[in-house]
Amino acid sequence: MPTARSSVPHTAPSSAAIARQAEGAIVLDGVDKWYGTVHVLKSVSLSVSNGEKVVVCGPSGSGKSTLIRCINGLERHQNGRISVEGVEVVDRTLRQIRREVGMVFQSFNLFPHLTILQNCMLAPMESRKLSREEARDRSIEYLSRVHISEQADKYPAQLSGGQQQRAAIARALCMQPRIMLFDEPTSALDPEMISEVLDTMMELAASGMTMVCVTHEMGFAQKVADRVVFMDEGAIAEVGPPDQLFNSPSSERLALFLRRILSH
């Protein structure tokens, strides 16, 4: 069914298809967003290609969470253009885009009244129209991929934070998205649980998934990221490969930020 809609651009010759190829997985072009009078995203432009891993960092309030939440339309931008795999993010494309874009939240946001398995099965059954059996098989597959298949019949509150976050990752993967967004996935976790979640994310990265992660885990960025985006006051201050950004920051603002987060 998504193919029916994505074939619409063919009315404008095949240039649309070519544009999609060239455009990459996610394109933000001059995106602005205000909360009331506060300008939280200032003409942000960024392009993420297929299979690329981008880590977004920056001080709190710099707009990094807002930025990735605009990509799947949880926050709506007011100016500029965002497109995901060539489909522009507008009201009527939201559900189509969200089928292909998984998201993991800082606070997990698992459904507390459903078991881990039911958490995973819900969306594939409701928005991908899988049968109960297919959804169950797929859920068990992804739960074992994040190494918690033995917790499938427990409720979220019975799991540790790290297990809950891995369950949330599995839940998102069950939709078989082509892009994954991570909004500070380890910020709510105890130190010893951070590594188990990061390991899961690294395995996912190795599988070729396109990933955009807001995180302060610089070790993860160093190992996994193709590019690091440093945001400050609602704008992209610096972009580059992790080595370049971390070892020779070109702005005083980034150097200061790095000193602060690496000092402890």
- Residues contributing to the site for other proteins (CB under 8 A): 72-74, 94-95, 98-99, 101-103, 105, 107, 109-115, 122-123, 126-127, 155-158, 168, 171-172, 175
Interior/surface letters 4-30, b for 16+ CB within 10 angstroms, e for the rest: eebeebeeeeeebeeebeebbbbbbee
Q: Which CB, 126 or 243, lies closer to other proteins? A: 126
Q: Which CB, 27 or 71, lies closer to other proteins? A: 71
Secondary structure (DSSP) of the chain = -HHHHHTGGGGSTTHHHHHHHHH-SEEEEEEEEEETTEEEEEEEEEEE-TT-EEEEE-STTSSHHHHHHHHTTSS--SEEEEEETTEE--GGGHHHHHHHEEEE-TT----TTS-HHHHHHHHHHHHS---HHHHHHHHHHHHHHTT-GGGTTS-GGGS-HHHHHHHHHHHHHTT--SEEEEESTTTTS-HHHHHHHHHHHHHHHHTT-EEEEE---HHHHHHH-SEEEEEETTEEEEEE-HHHHHHS-SSHHHHHHHHHHH--
CB of 80 to other proteins, least distance (A): 21
CB of 238 to other proteins, least distance (A): 28
CB of 188 to other proteins, least distance (A): 11
CB of 150 to other proteins, least distance (A): 18
